[in-house]
């Protein structure tokens, strides 16, 4: 192994190089899908919090506590109880 990725891949058997390429494509696709899911969930939570606030209802999601200025019971910015 010389540190040259192309050279290292050329030394591999063709079937192993293809298997590694397919694995890399699968991992990249899963990461892309995960990013899309995270964006959709975050957007839905923000819309839910905005709609609930506009209707005068406290937002339900625990993650929306961090989006507001309301104090969270049992939590302090420094992590202690003082």
Q: What is the DSSP letter of 67?
A: G
Pick from 4-18, 24-38, 62-76: least confident = 62-76
Assess if residue 38 is contained within a domain.
yes
Instruction: Give the pLDDT of residue 24.
Output: 94
Domain that holds residue 58: 25-72
Report field, pTM of the whole predicted structure over 0.75? no
Structural domain contains residue 78: no
Mean pLDDT confidence for 27-33: 97
Domains in the chain, number? 1
Predicted confidence band at 69 (pLDDT cuts at 50, 70, 90)? low
CA separation (Å) from 44 to 29, 40, 51, 63, 73? 23, 6, 10, 12, 24
Q: Which long-range contacts (CB under 8 A, 24 or more apart) does 66-69 make?
A: none
Place of tokens 């957007």: 43
Q: What angle (nearest 5°) sits at the alpha carbon of residue 37, between those of residues 36 and 42?
A: 100
Q: What's the pLDDT score for residue 48?
A: 81
């Amino acid at each position: 192994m010389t540190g040259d990725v192309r050279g290292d891949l050329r030394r591999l058997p063709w079937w192993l190089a293809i298997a590694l390429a397919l694995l890399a494509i699968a991992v990249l696709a899963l990461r892309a899908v995960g990013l899309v899911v995270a964006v959709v969930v975050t957007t839905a939570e923000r819309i839910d919090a905005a709609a609930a606030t506009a209707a005068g209802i406290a937002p339900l999601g625990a993650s929306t506590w961090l989006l507001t200025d309301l104090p969270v019971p049992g939590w302090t910015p420094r992590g202690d109880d003082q």
